[in-house]
Chains A and B, each alone.
Chain A
Amino acid sequence: MNKYLVTLLTLMMFMPASLAQTLPAGQGGAPMTPPTPAWTAVNFMLFRLLPVQHAGRIMPVDTLARQTVWEVTGKRDWQGLDPAGLLLAWTWQNDAWQNEPIILVGHPDLQKHLAISADRKHFSCAELLNNQPLHQLVMEAQQASMAKAALSPLQRSAAQVWQRLSIFQELGQSARLRIVPAMKEPNGAWSTVADIASQPGLPEAAQQPIRAAWDSMHAAFLAGDRKAFIAAAQGLDKTLTALNAVGWPNRDTTALEFIYNWMRPFRAGWIATFLALAVGLLALAWPNKWVRRLAWVLLLDGFALLTTGIVLRWKFSGHAPLATMYESLVFMGWGVTIIGIIVMLLNRQRIAAALPIVAGVATAILIVADVSSLDSAAEPLQPVLRNTAWLTIHVLTIMMAYSAYALAMGLGHVQAVRLALKPQDREPTAQLGRLLYAIILTGCAFLTAGIIFGAIWASESWGRPWGWDPKETWSLITLLGYMVVLHGRRINWFGPFGDAVASIVCFQLVVMTYYGVNFVLGQGLHSYGFSAGGQIWIGLYVLAELVFVAWTSILRRQNARLQPSEVAATQE
């Protein structure tokens, strides 16, 4: 590869990353009314790199700060303020923030029920804490969940608002920043500076410097003293490191997480693939060597970003990023790009339409992961997923299969439209048909292996290799569906158009296995890593696909009537 290309690639790698930073995270909040706090002058960099224990794992303060801002305000970015600064402000100046509208309600019916303004989405603690209807709803929600009854939408959002409130209150009680490491056990509980005395194995003499450093940080924060804050944060870092605690993490790992947070590689990834899609479409309209190359570079860039993101996340979370729906969706986007790239490289015909399809499918999946309300936080593993390499092997293989099927679904759309519009157009569609076949075959190889790996894991974890669990059964149904397509193709039962439609229809089986089993059937053992919601969107997607299939079929029939002889020729 020549030097320029390397430079270009490096540049391209960071361009979407910086774009990802600037992309608005949602619609802007209310205009900033309070006077700019003194601490905006402070640089929180060192503090953000400090390790902290939260949600059962060790993370940099940076992650905790971002998560807290997200959990309280429902936004990734609160009025352009540094999340670490907000975290400290909510801790140390909690009283002053009690009257700021920062708690997201954002549910029109709930706001109506609570008799609060319908014009904004964010409300202050003071407004919400004294709201009697909210208290009532929260109490009902607690009673309902104790009785294991289903919550009404109103109750559920009230419980969410209450959760946001309690996080904010928890900050006010200095109960969130557990930065004092466990001294006795590697996986022991960390404590906050406030209850430092309760940390077992930490001598009295060692507590004092930590308190002192914390207090000087507090003072510098309130004064907005940039230099003093950096010095205090540095001092705190040194004091904590000098404890040589058994629970103290590898600082490179927390630094990696910090980089990951800054980079937002998965958002950057879909921006790159989206650009690849746009340039790839341009290359179709305007076949130029350089435009085509640019599209390729962008796609490779997206792939590189996704790979970086996955590797980083794997490193800092300590397990393969395949444990939650968000993680598996991102992995699926990555799988689409790598399978697409390999298939395009192997394919001799160099089909021009392939690249935008690959980029388009990857973009769609990644956008779903990024924009949907899926929880993107890296969480500790549930017991059933621990102690085993099969999580990585099984889910990875399965997700590769789904990636291949998603790609086939994308190709199927293009193929179906082509064949519907021009039933006589034989050679290009035959090329695309071969590509489709190759990708489905790849998917089937992965799914077969994935199911079998799952069976091996199940026999080690649940005591039986196969128990007709709904997820198991539906993965088999999916495989059988694609097997019908593969075997039917050999006796030409469905024809090229039928194959294209089948790749779309069979993908609905994947949707059912991946998503529907948990939400439509609501049964079975594979219930981890899923958050509720999205049923309407998935339902709309499936409906749209059905409409698409019906529409192309009708279109094809109409066009075939116009050219009866040629259709007969394609069907032989």
Chain B
Amino acid sequence: MAPTSKQAKAVLQTLGSLRLAVIVLGTLAVVLAIATIIESKVSPAAARHFVYGSAWFSLVLLVLGINVAAAALTRWPWRARHIGFLITHAGILVILGGCLGTNRFGINGRLALQQGTQDNHIVLDDWVITAMTGSPGQQRAAQIPIGQPPHLAAAPAALDLPGRQYHLRLLQYLPDAEERAQVIDGSPQDPAAVLLEIQAAGQSGQQWLLADDTGRWSIRTPGFTLAMFGDFSPQTAPVGKGTVVVTIDGQSRQIDVEQALAAPIDIGDGHTTLRVTEYYEHTRVEGHKLYEDPTQPANPAVVLELASGDTRQTRIVFAQFGDIGEMSAMHKDTPASPIKVALEHPRSATLVALVPRQNSLTIYEQDGGEIAQQIDLPLDKPVTLRKMAMTLTARKFLPHARASTVIVPRQPGQPGDPQPAVQVELTGDTAPQRTWLLWAQPASLTLGPDTLDLMLQANEVELPFAIRLDRFDVEDYPNTQMPAMFRSSVTLIDTQRHEQHKVQIEMNRPLQYRGWSFFQNSYSIDPQHRQRVSVLAASKDPGKPILFTGALLLVAGTVILSCQRLVPQRPGTKRPAPPTNGSPAQPSPGKVTSQ
């Protein structure tokens, strides 16, 4: 025999040795035990990521496979007494091969269906980032798989779009995030901002004010405004009769009282008009009637009429109290009106204006058109307002600021489903750009000439057919609350093959169609029984036949092997000594040995 062949044989002997077998089996057992502890103490996802799905675990299985294969090869030439051994070990090899096939080509996902709806998208456990670019009609899309949460792939992945290549890198992952607005330093053309600490009625809170902002960065309630102005000149006399603010579905519209007194004004929903029928500046209320009484302090109010077709509503609105509802008793049974009205009037309003003056702030407090106070607001010095029981402290001042949103972890224990988010960095020819992607919310990034729309979502597979959930039932054992069966009655709709079937999916009774299997997995029924959602597990596993062939071989082999070993050998049967691969352990004559 040539020396290389001898060496090869020695290597094979070592690879197929019982010693290696014992070591690999023992290692595998210990590793798996640790994995179950990780699963219990950390999370199933961690066990999957760090052990079951990891490369080194595959390596251990590979070594096991090599050991099994080599052990079988070293027994060559095979004899009848090897049958059990060979079938068993072949079974293990086939199962390992089948696992490889399942891992490579198998698909496992879920199909959540609300009663009465249909879908043909299987949602998988792993996530992708979808990138879209191009003008409408000429859009190109690409998907980057980023693995399963919480162990998302951090390595840069190439994003190929026609003509250009980008690299996308995951920077951060938040399992439950929310968008929060904040004020940050801006460029020289940006307005000033101040962070105010407001103490009122024993409560205190912080609020950013951005100059000339009328939205989130100012405080505006009926009768009270606290805002910052870039440029401000105090007005001493009240102007006009104020405005009525009409709000429908969150959309506001301002209507001048003077105009509405003159003629009905369309409020913008297409069919309703508003007319101010009465106007009071110093309102006195007696019984259900309003009177003008100049001896009273300023208390503006209007009576207005909302007309839509034949229906008319009369409402009284005070500037200081807001909408006190419908006045007419005729409309008591009508549901709460979607239209909200408020009166803004300079006579009743308190305005606190903060005005920047070269690195410092001035407060103008104006009440009913008269200036009540004008003082400086230095940093960290509390200033108490005169008309309002309120103390203001400036905590931070930015001469140039702008509003921006940040993604932050959501406080635990808040209602609603968790909303994951990832921060990604896109690198192209130009400087890298970063952005946060909230679950299923598109975000745009501009890199050089391209604008990319990115979105974080679950990977999905589209089925060539759809499934509709007709009914979902939980059947209880009679007279008990013990569930006896969960049942989804579905209709399978295959437009390609013009087939339609009504099927019932129960526990242990899956639906099988075109290589896919659907199993009853879980369900949710809301307490009012209005919405029933059935979750079906969907899988497609081309490795399954291989797996089951291997399983069959393994079971058959084990049985044959056991019988060969257990049934006493006839005395006098001469058997050659087993290959001992240099092990000192010569079996003693009394021991059960075959092979």
Contact = CB atoms under 8 A, between A and B. Distances in A.
Interface magnitude class on chain B: 35 or more
A470 B40 contact: yes
Nearest to B477: A56
Contacts of B506: 383, 387
A572 B591 CA distance: 14
Contact of B482 (A56, A178, A187, A474): A56
A521 B40 contact: yes
B35 A56 contact: no
Nearest to B586: A572
Interface in B484-541: 484-486, 506-510, 517, 519, 521, 537-539, 541
Contacts of A434: 590-592
B33 interface: yes
A456 B508 CA distance: 11
10 contacts: A55-B477, A383-B483, A387-B509, A434-B592, A468-B39, A480-B29, A488-B18, A490-B587, A491-B19, A521-B36
B517 A463 contact: yes
Nearest to A384: B507
A79 interface: no
Contacts of A492: 585, 587
B510 A463 contact: yes
Contacts of B485: 383, 386
Contact of B562 (A382, A445, A487, A491): A445
A487 B585 contact: no
B591 A493 contact: no
A183 to B, nearest CB: 13
Interface in B561-584: 561-562, 565-568, 583
A380 B544 CA distance: 32
B507 A189 contact: no
B171 interface: no
A176 B484 CA distance: 20
B32 interface: yes
Contacts of B29: 477, 480-481, 484
Contact of A473 (B36, B108, B561): B36
Interface in A499-524: 517, 520-523
Interface stretch (B324-332, B354-362, B546-554): B546-554
Interface stretch (A84-92, A252-260, A435-443): A435-443
A445 B477 contact: no
Interface string B28-56: 11001101110110001001100010000
A483 B21 CA distance: 9
B101 to A, nearest CB: 12
B565 A383 contact: no
B272 interface: no
Interface string A153-194: 000000000000000000000000010001000011110000
A487 B88 CA distance: 14
Given A55-B480, A55-B482, 19 more contacts: A53-B479, A56-B477, A346-B566, A383-B484, A383-B507, A430-B591, A434-B590, A434-B592, A438-B566, A441-B561, A448-B554, A452-B555, A460-B510, A463-B108, A465-B541, A468-B47, A474-B33, A477-B29, A477-B32
B112 to A, nearest CB: 14
A346 B568 contact: yes
B313 interface: no
Contact of B565 (A441, A459, A484): A441
Contacts of B568: 346, 348
Given A178-B479, A189-B479, A346-B566, A386 B40 contact: no
**Chain A: interface secondary structure?**
helix
Interface in A83-136: none
A312 interface: no
Contacts of B32: 473-474, 476-477, 480
Nearest to A187: B478
Contact of B21 (A55, A468, A487): A487
Interface in B1-27: 18-19, 21-22, 25-26
A445 B565 CA distance: 12
Contacts of A57: 477
Nearest to B593: A490
B275 to A, nearest CB: 54
A183 B315 CA distance: 63
B477 A442 contact: no
B559 interface: yes
Contacts of A437: 565, 592
Contacts of B334: none
Given A56-B484, A437-B592, A487 B477 contact: no
A541 interface: no
Interface residues of A, number: 66
B482 A387 contact: no
A480 B25 contact: yes
B482 A460 contact: no
Interface in A288-329: none
A461 interface: yes
Contacts of A520: 40
B148 interface: no
Nearest to A448: B558
A228 interface: no
B138 interface: no
B588 interface: yes
A460 to B, nearest CB: 6
Interface of A: 53-57, 178, 182, 187-190, 346, 348, 380, 382-384, 386-388, 390, 427, 430, 433-434, 437-438, 441-442, 444-445, 448-449, 452, 455-456, 459-466, 468, 470, 473-474, 476-477, 480-481, 483-484, 487-488, 490-493, 517, 520-523, 572
A449 B555 contact: yes
Contacts of B591: 430, 433-434
A351 to B, nearest CB: 14
Given A445-B559, A463-B521, A463-B537, A484 B544 contact: no
Given A56-B478, A442-B562, A521 B509 contact: no
Contacts of B587: 490, 492
A572 B588 contact: yes
Contact of A383 (B26, B480, B486, B559): B486
B33 A477 contact: yes
Nearest to B52: A468
Contacts of B590: 427, 430, 434
Given A437-B592, A463-B539, A493-B22, A523 B40 contact: yes
A49 B580 CA distance: 67
B367 to A, nearest CB: 50
A223 B566 CA distance: 67
B25 A484 contact: yes
Nearest to B559: A445
Given A452-B551, A461-B508, A465-B547, A480 B539 contact: no
| 3 nearest CB pairs, A to B | A56-B477, A492-B585, A189-B478
A468 B35 contact: yes
B10 to A, nearest CB: 17
A54 B486 CA distance: 21
Contact of B519 (A190, A442, A463, A476): A463
Contacts of B538: 463
A9 B477 CA distance: 41
A390 B508 CA distance: 10
A187 B99 CA distance: 42
Contacts of A441: 561-562, 565-566
Given A430-B590, A438-B565, A464-B539, A387 B22 contact: no
B478 A53 contact: yes
Nearest to B583: A491
A298 B595 CA distance: 39
B36 A387 contact: no
Contacts of A473: 32, 35-36
A452 B554 contact: yes
A442 B566 contact: yes
A490 B18 CA distance: 8
A470 B48 CA distance: 12
Given A434-B592, A473-B32, A523 B479 contact: no
